[in-house]
Chains A and B, each alone.
Chain A
Amino acid sequence: MTVSGLLEIRELSLFRGARQVLRGVTLSIERGEVCALMGLSGCGKTTALRATVALEAFDAGSVDVGGFRLQPGPVPRESLLSELRRRVGMVFQAHALFEHLTAEENVALAPREVLRSARSDAGARARALLESLGVGGRAGAYPRELSGGEAQRVAIARALAMDPPLLLMDEPTAALDPARRGSLGETLRRLAAEGRGLLVATHDVDFARDFTDRVAVLAEGAVVEEGPAAQVLASPTHAATQELLAAKPRT
């Protein structure tokens, strides 16, 4: 393994009651790389992301985020996780914006309260981030006033405001029309070009082919196929990948 790894997941296993949700998942992300974690609904994509950001406990294996290591067992107290929080950001499928705050306040809140940035600095940086994501004009809008695409870009801006080297995204294209999907893809490429690593859980084959470097296919809690996106999606070797391609909606 390379030393530049932003994320090293090794042999990650997770049970919910008697059911094993993850079966020894191994995965790594490097700087400048966009990786798609693919699979049909219920294959464990979201669970893998949640375990990576310590929202869920796991039972075996390890998660290493830029040198911060999570061990099996109960989720550590939040006060012990500040290193992890600084190194990885997460964009949820249901964008999870704070409903009582405007777009700008959503983005500026964590820098202000966690990093103790000056109010004016945090506000200016939030507006710049929203501008760079094409929603600068919506800075004063509340989440309930935003469209799905706008809300998602605000959520990305909120995660980026803490400047994490690694960004996880859960089904980012779910709420987007094709044109918006393209612009989201370009945003991801730009973030990778800045030197960040991105892990994107998705079942959107076209999106993965067009905008990611590498694909890892998850089936029944295990990685069954992994490689460069173009190669894996053009000539899949595993039945699960073929099924995923067959399920792709015709556009």
Chain B
Amino acid sequence: MTLLAPLLDGQEPATLRWGGDAEGGAPFVEADPADPSRVRGFDVEVAETIARGLRRRPVFVQVQFQQIDASVERGDFDIGMSGVEDTPARRAEHAVSAPYFEFREVLAVRPADADRYRRLSDLAGRRVGTLAGTIAYDMLLAARTSHGVVPVSYDDDVHPYSDLVNGRLDGVLLDHIIAARAVKRSGGFVIQPEPAATGRYIVVLAKRNAPLRDRIDGILLSAMRDGTLEGIYRRWDVWDEGQRAFFARAAGGQPQGAARAEPAAKRPVLETVAAYLPSLLGAALVTLVLSCAAMALAVAAGVALATGRIYGSAPVRAAFTFYVELVRGTPVLLQLFVLYYGLAAVVNLPAFVAALLGLGLNYAAYESEIYRGALEAVPRVQLEAARTLGFSEGQILRLVRGPQALRLALAPMTNDFVALLKDSSLVSVITVVELTKQTAIFATNIGSWVLPGALCAAMYLAMSLPLSRLARRLERRWGSAS
């Protein structure tokens, strides 16, 4: 509603929020090596063209590729576009723009296999990889039934090609511009000339946003006619005669030519690190803040759960026990998805809040078990002695039982905090970019995990080692107290 209200008032919002996945997103959307806080790519420029047409300022929102549809529907951004394909399912579920790019699904194989694996039907019993949630993946699923191909799904479009080169796969089926980019980056395989299919990229919007979609269609059409799109595609080296024919069919006009520019060249290691370090540090801060806030929530809720399970009435005990068992018996990933996407219709939580709640409420169940065990471990005879001295139950908990339980619980709590710090990487599935996700984006961009992995590990250790040492010290100091 907040997105629609200004339109209904006849006022144009100041920004156009557009979502895309910068992880392995070249040449669609990738972090700019010159300034990783910015993105670049032909989709970035198409988005800018659309924003210009709407007289709005474009704002990029990072989202996992597989989550673009769900995120746009729940209103995280106005439009989704980074190689989003035109499919019947998407047209049925969302508002979809006119196609702005036509691509070919091409098969990549190792050079030695170029003659025997010419098309999908040649790959019976062979492993063929692609990106999850794409037309190519659906084609592989169909080929499994018809030709016995073994489909392998990836969350990104870089690792399928490295696995092809190192022999884990015998073929990769993906969009021709992704394949061309991969050849240029690493090589070690060939692209079969005969396309397996053609498809088109579109802009996806929430179903309720059809009026905005119609305006975007107009902008795209005129950008085809006046040569703006051709210029962008030439700059990113994705223009070819097939595209010209597609434009002619779509727009019915002759697009203008435009100058061609070379994308940035490879840069030395130190310069790369220096360029990515600020965004990694920022992501580490997200990890730290998220972990601390989630732990605070987990401790508070855990204390409430533990005391409720020991002192509460039968219904309270039953309800709290059910909560603890439910949370401990289901994956935290599922809980995050349910909180963020599942409840979106009821309460539209911001991603960071959903991440904090998901981690905090999950860990609360584990904390409560620690506290309950610690409270039960305080010798009963001390509690009875306290009663004979005239203490109330509340005083006994506050003065006798609680303080001793806290000493028993501190070391395991600290261990849990270290575990939470690492588990916080899971929240990238609900579009929060924290240290691990930022590292993955970094690694996929430069095509190597060695440097980003080392930097990322160093940052996690810098956060967790002091905590582990604290846990050991507390254990030494209070381990023999009770």
Which chain A residue lies CB-closest to B405?
Answer: A100
Do A110 and B390 touch across chains, with their CB atoms under 8 A apart? Answer: yes
Given A100-B404, A100-B407, A144-B481, A113 and B387 contact (CB-CB distance below 8 Å): no
Do B390 and A96 touch across chains, with their CB atoms under 8 A apart? Answer: no
A162 contacts which chain B residues (CB < 8 A)?
389-390
Do B382 and A96 touch across chains, with their CB atoms under 8 A apart? Answer: yes
Do B480 and A55 touch across chains, with their CB atoms under 8 A apart? Answer: no
Tell me if B385 is interfacial: C-beta within 8 Å of chain A.
yes
Tell me if B194 is interfacial: C-beta within 8 Å of chain A.
no
Given A55-B384, A92-B385, A100 and B390 contact (CB-CB distance below 8 Å): no
Do B381 and A114 touch across chains, with their CB atoms under 8 A apart? Answer: no
For residue A130, give the distance in angstroms from its CB to the closest CB of chain B: 16
CB < 8 Å neighbour of A53 from B381, B388, B407, B481: B388
Interface size on A, residues (CB 8 A): 26
Tell me if A79 is interfacial: C-beta within 8 Å of chain B.
yes
B387 contacts which chain A residues (CB < 8 A)?
55, 78, 85
For residue A124, give the distance in angstroms from its CB to the closest CB of chain B: 19
Tell me if B379 is interfacial: C-beta within 8 Å of chain A.
yes
Tell me if A207 is interfacial: C-beta within 8 Å of chain B.
no
A144 contacts which chain B residues (CB < 8 A)?
480-481
Q: Give Cα A98–Cα B389 distance, bound, in whole angstroms.
A: 12
Tell me if B393 is interfacial: C-beta within 8 Å of chain A.
yes
Tell me if A94 is interfacial: C-beta within 8 Å of chain B.
yes
CB < 8 Å neighbour of B381 from A79, A89, A94, A159: A94
Do A98 and B381 touch across chains, with their CB atoms under 8 A apart? Answer: no
For residue B382, give the distance in angstroms from its CB to the closest CB of chain A: 5
CB < 8 Å neighbour of B388 from A55, A94, A97, A109: A55
Q: Give Cα A99–Cα B384 distance, bound, in whole angstroms.
A: 14
For residue B404, give the distance in angstroms from its CB to the closest CB of chain A: 5
Do B393 and A78 touch across chains, with their CB atoms under 8 A apart? Answer: yes
CB < 8 Å neighbour of A99 from B388, B391, B393, B404: B404
Given A99-B481, A144-B480, A144-B481, A90 and B382 contact (CB-CB distance below 8 Å): no
A-binding segment of B106-114, B262-270, B395-403: B395-403
For residue B400, give the distance in angstroms from its CB to the closest CB of chain A: 6
The range of chain B's interface size is 20 to 34
CB < 8 Å neighbour of B392 from A78, A86, A96, A100: A78
Q: Give Cα A74–Cα B389 distance, bound, in whole angstroms.
A: 20
Which chain B residue lies CB-closest to A53?
Answer: B388
Which chain A residue lies CB-closest to B387?
Answer: A78
For residue A140, give the distance in angstroms from its CB to the closest CB of chain B: 16
Tell me if B166 is interfacial: C-beta within 8 Å of chain A.
no
Q: Give Cα A78–Cα B391 distance, bound, in whole angstroms.
A: 8
Do B391 and A114 touch across chains, with their CB atoms under 8 A apart? Answer: yes
Do B393 and A96 touch across chains, with their CB atoms under 8 A apart? Answer: no
Tell me if A237 is interfacial: C-beta within 8 Å of chain B.
no
Do A96 and B384 touch across chains, with their CB atoms under 8 A apart? Answer: yes
Tell me if B145 is interfacial: C-beta within 8 Å of chain A.
no
Q: Give Cα A53–Cα B385 distance, bound, in whole angstroms.
A: 10
Do B389 and A85 touch across chains, with their CB atoms under 8 A apart? Answer: yes
In chain B, positions 429-482 with a C-beta closer than 8 Å to chain A are 480-482
Do A100 and B403 touch across chains, with their CB atoms under 8 A apart? Answer: yes
Q: Give Cα A242–Cα B386 distance, bound, in whole angstroms.
A: 37
In chain A, positions 48-92 with a C-beta closer than 8 Å to chain B are 53, 55, 78-79, 82, 85-86, 88-90, 92
A90 contacts which chain B residues (CB < 8 A)?
385, 388
For residue A95, give the distance in angstroms from its CB to the closest CB of chain B: 8
For residue B399, give the distance in angstroms from its CB to the closest CB of chain A: 6
Q: Give Cα A162–Cα B390 distance, bound, in whole angstroms.
A: 9
Given A85-B389, A144-B481, A162-B389, A113 and B384 contact (CB-CB distance below 8 Å): no
For residue A86, give the distance in angstroms from its CB to the closest CB of chain B: 7
Which chain B residue lies CB-closest to A77?
Answer: B393
Q: Give Cα A158–Cα B382 distance, bound, in whole angstroms.
A: 12
Do A110 and B400 touch across chains, with their CB atoms under 8 A apart? Answer: no
Which chain B residue lies CB-closest to A88?
Answer: B388
A97 contacts which chain B residues (CB < 8 A)?
382, 385
Q: Give Cα A155–Cα B388 distance, bound, in whole angstroms.
A: 12
Find the residue from A86, A99, A100 having the highest chain B CB count within 10 A: A100
Do A86 and B390 touch across chains, with their CB atoms under 8 A apart? Answer: yes
A113 contacts which chain B residues (CB < 8 A)?
391, 395, 399
A110 contacts which chain B residues (CB < 8 A)?
389-391
A98 contacts which chain B residues (CB < 8 A)?
382, 385-386, 400, 404
Do B389 and A158 touch across chains, with their CB atoms under 8 A apart? Answer: yes
A155 contacts which chain B residues (CB < 8 A)?
385
Which chain A residue lies CB-closest to B389?
Answer: A110
Find the residue from B385, B387, B400, B481 having the highest chain A CB count within 10 A: B385
For residue B384, give the distance in angstroms from its CB to the closest CB of chain A: 5
In chain A, positions 139-163 with a C-beta closer than 8 Å to chain B are 144, 155, 158-159, 162
A158 contacts which chain B residues (CB < 8 A)?
385, 389
Q: Give Cα A90–Cα B389 distance, bound, in whole angstroms.
A: 8
For residue B313, give the distance in angstroms from its CB to the closest CB of chain A: 14
A159 contacts which chain B residues (CB < 8 A)?
388-389
Q: Give Cα A90–Cα B382 distance, bound, in whole angstroms.
A: 12
Do B388 and A85 touch across chains, with their CB atoms under 8 A apart? Answer: yes
B390 contacts which chain A residues (CB < 8 A)?
82, 85-86, 110, 114, 162
Find the residue from A86, A88, A98, A109 having the highest chain B CB count within 10 A: A98
9 smallest beta-carbon distances between A and B, as pairs:
A85-B390, A96-B385, A110-B389, A96-B381, A114-B390, A90-B388, A100-B404, A99-B482, A100-B403
Question: Can you spell out 24 A-B residue pairs with CB atoms less than 8 angstroms apart?
Answer: A55-B387, A78-B392, A79-B392, A82-B390, A85-B389, A86-B390, A88-B388, A92-B384, A96-B379, A96-B381, A96-B382, A98-B386, A98-B400, A99-B382, A99-B404, A109-B399, A110-B391, A113-B395, A114-B391, A144-B480, A155-B385, A158-B389, A159-B389, A162-B390
Residue ranges of B at the interface with A (Cβ–Cβ < 8 Å): 379, 381-382, 384-393, 395, 399-400, 403-404, 407, 480-482
> Known pairs A90-B388, A92-B385, A113-B395. 18 more at Cβ < 8 A?
A53-B388, A55-B384, A55-B387, A78-B391, A85-B390, A86-B390, A96-B381, A97-B382, A97-B385, A98-B385, A98-B386, A98-B404, A99-B404, A99-B482, A100-B403, A110-B390, A155-B385, A158-B389
